[in-house]
Amino acid sequence: MARAAVLERLTPIAWRVATVEAVVDETPSARTIVLDVPSWPGHTAGQHVDVRLTAEDGYQAQRSYSIASAPEAERLELTVERLDDGEVSPYLTGELRAGDPLELRGPVGGYFTWRAEDGGPLLLVGGGSGVVPLRAMLRHHAARQSDADARLLLSARTAADILYRDELESRPGVRFTLTRERPQGWTGFDRRVDAEMLTAVGPDPAERPRIYVCGPTAFVESVADLLVALGHEPSAVRAERFGPTGG
Amino acid sequence: MSEQALWLDGNAIAGLLVEIFGTEMTGVVRGCQSCGARNAVGAHRAYRGAGVVLRCPVCSDLALRIAVLPDRHVVQLVGSWTLELPTR
């Protein structure tokens, strides 16, 4: 076994220095960072990475970000939403440029993951940037040409806040809801996620879908409670929350 | 939905857990010694402060406490944990 491989095995969570290949503005407050990661071990849709920033005086700040790209993609993509009072996200969404190094480790997380071989049906419910790991699942679904029934409900404040809108709109089974506005000609939902909306999106609890809910903590709590009340198995509902320790 | 709860999922500390245990931990099922519920570590509630505390998602009893010190982690496990650690 090569020495590098041995080291890899002994330090499964080594920090790596990735290089930013490109930054893509997705919405006024969110940016996708395309990364070239040396000896990236591969990931599963739904996993995340830890990103670490080090200041000149040695102070370090660390955050977790969901992976936005499919395992099949050549480059690793993270989509980061700027939190104005955050410590890390303003740098990632504002200062970071192509060619810059970025320290990260991972992938981590084996709970909130979906592989094509897990099958469906699949119900994905995202709040705001909670759609990021769900997009990785949908891209994986497409890359593997999975025939699993996959549906996504994405809740955003305004139409301008919808991440990956063009890409998602081109897929069947994707619905949006806006909680703060109803633009002219809008054909999606225009309220907070409720039981009626979840029933309309489906699939029916009798089909025993695998369910992934990601978003702010209060959003996830509310949606998970609604799903269980509709008759979905609590154990079929997997949740990933963004909390106040983010940013 | 304006109120922000002060906890995340066990999934959020996956990186720290790999650092400590050397393997992916969020899929590990833990049995709670207080209420008996069995849940994946990733479905537990994680509270971050000076260290990390993991609590049972059903009864909030303590599951794991990690103090992050400059030269070591101090780890306290509560309840029934079955770990499958890869051989080296």
Q: Which domains does chain A have, with CATH numbers?
A: 3-108 (2.40.30.10), 116-242 (3.40.50.80)
CA dist., res. A190 & res. A144, Å (int):
33
pLDDT in tens, chain A (247 residues): 444 444 444 455 789 999 999 999 999 999 999 999 998 999 999 999 999 999 889 888 888 899 999 999 999 999 999 988 888 899 999 999 999 999 999 999 888 999 999 999 999 999 999 999 999 999 999 999 999 999 999 999 999 999 999 999 999 999 999 999 999 999 999 999 999 999 999 999 999 999 999 999 899 999 999 999 999 999 999 999 876 544 5
Q: Tell me the backbone φ, ψ of residue A24, rounded to 5 degrees.
A: -125, 120
Residues of A in contact with B17 (CB under 8 A): 108
Question: Do residues A49 and A63 make contact, with C-beta atoms less than 8 angstroms apart?
Answer: no
Tell me the CA distances in angstroms from A117 to A48, A120, A148, A224, B32, one per residue in order: 20, 9, 10, 24, 31
Nearest residue, CB atoms, A245 vs list B2, B27, B48: B48
Average pLDDT, integer, range B19-38: 90
Please tell me which residue of chain A has the smallest CA distance to B45: A241
pTM of the model: 0.87
pLDDT for residue A243? 62
Q: How much is the pLDDT for A7?
A: 46
B87 against A217, higher pLDDT: A217
| Selected residue of B3, B4, B18, B30 to mutate for chain A interface (largest A Cβ count, 10 A) | B18
Cβ(A174)–Cβ(A168) below 8 Å: yes
Nearest-CB residue to B4 (from A49, A110, A244): A244
Contact between B8 and A241 using a beta-carbon 8 Å cutoff? yes
List of chain B residues whose C-beta atoms are within 8 Å of the C-beta of residue A105: 15
What was the pLDDT predicted at B88? Answer: 62
Does the pLDDT value for residue B48 go beyond 90?
no
Identify residues of A whose CB sits under 8 angstroms from chain B CBs.
9-10, 12-13, 48-50, 64, 105-106, 108-112, 192, 216-219, 221-222, 238-245
- Which of B2, B3, B4, B11 would you mutate first to test chain A, the one with the most A CBs within 10 A? B11
DSSP string over chain A: --HHHHHHHH-TT--EEEEEEEEEEEETTEEEEEEE-TT-----TT-EEEEEEE-TTS-EEEEEEEB-S-TTSSSEEEEEE--TT-SSHHIIIII--TT-EEEEEEEE-SSS---GGG---EEEEEEGGGHHHHHHHHHHHHHTT--S-EEEEEEESSGGG-TTHHHHHTSTTEEEEESS---TT--SB-SS--HHHHHHH---GGG--EEEEEEEHHHHHHHHHHHHHTT--GGGEEEEEE-TT--
Q: Which residue of B has its CA nearest to A109?
A: B14
**Which residues of A are less than 8 Å from B3 in CB distance?**
218
Residues A13 and A63: beta-carbon distance below 8 Å: no
Task: Decide if B15 and A13 are in contact by the 8 Å CB cutoff.
Answer: yes
Task: For the sheet with B62-68, list strands across it.
Answer: B8-9, B45-48, B52-55, B62-68, B73-77
Q: Answer for the pair A62, A50: CB distance below 8 angstroms, yes or no.
A: yes
Of A106, A111, A217, the CB nearest to B42: A111
Minimum Cα–Cα distance from A237: chain B residue: B43
Q: Is there a contact between B26 and A109 if contact means CB atoms under 8 Å apart?
A: yes
CA angle, corner B48, sides to A11 and B35, nearest 5? 100
Distance in Å, alpha carbon of B35 to nearest chain A alpha carbon? 17
CB–CB of A239 and B43 under 8 A?
yes
pLDDT at B2: 31
What is the SS3 assignment for chain B?
CCCCCCCEEHHHHHHHHHHHHCCCCCCCEEECCCCCCEEEHHHCEEEECCCEEEECCCCCCEEEEEEECCCCEEEEECCEECCCCCCC
